[in-house]
Amino acid sequence: MHETAGGRRPAGKGSGRMSMESFEMSEFFPVAPRTLYDAWMDGATHSAMTGSGARISARANGKFTAWDGYIFGTTVALEPGKRIVQRWKTTEFPERARYSLLEIRFEKSGKGTRLVLNHSGIPDGQGEDYRKGWTEFYFKPMRKYFSR
């Protein structure tokens, strides 16, 4: 897995806004980009590949939940087979925190797809936990699901 640690983006002095963290990481899967995209955007398949409940309205401005409601938000943009952009939160975000931004790109790579995940606007101090969470609760079960 290739991971690039992002940085912290300080809030402006006196702005009353929280500092934010971001990171980018990627993982290879032995399936076509459209297969991976469709699995991500279909609630039943998303649930099957992660092992936890998801409900997804597969359209721009559509709402979604994953991991039995722990993750929730709105899809901002879709490019079928290529890209998903979502406003994303979990129940662990501070009460007044804004939504983070999740961008997932599906890049053809040899006999499969390189999924590139960019997660920005994460509340300060939580970035490393979410980076680990993507690996443990998404990439690992997805590798198992797509290797059957």
> What percentage of the chain has pLDDT greater than the value 90?
84
| Cα–Cα dist 62/44, whole Å | 16
Beta-carbon neighbour count of residue 36 at 10 Å? 22
Q: According to the model, what pLDDT value does residue 19 have?
A: 76
pTM of the full predicted structure?
Answer: 0.86
Range of the domain at 57: 32-99+120-148
DSSP one-letter code for 135: I
Q: According to the model, what pLDDT value does residue 28 have?
A: 98
User: Quick check: is 3 in a domain?
Assistant: no
Average pLDDT over residues 86-109: 96
User: Quick check: is 130 in a domain?
Assistant: yes
Say yes or no to pLDDT of 143 above 50: yes
CATH number of the domain enclosing 73: 3.30.530.20
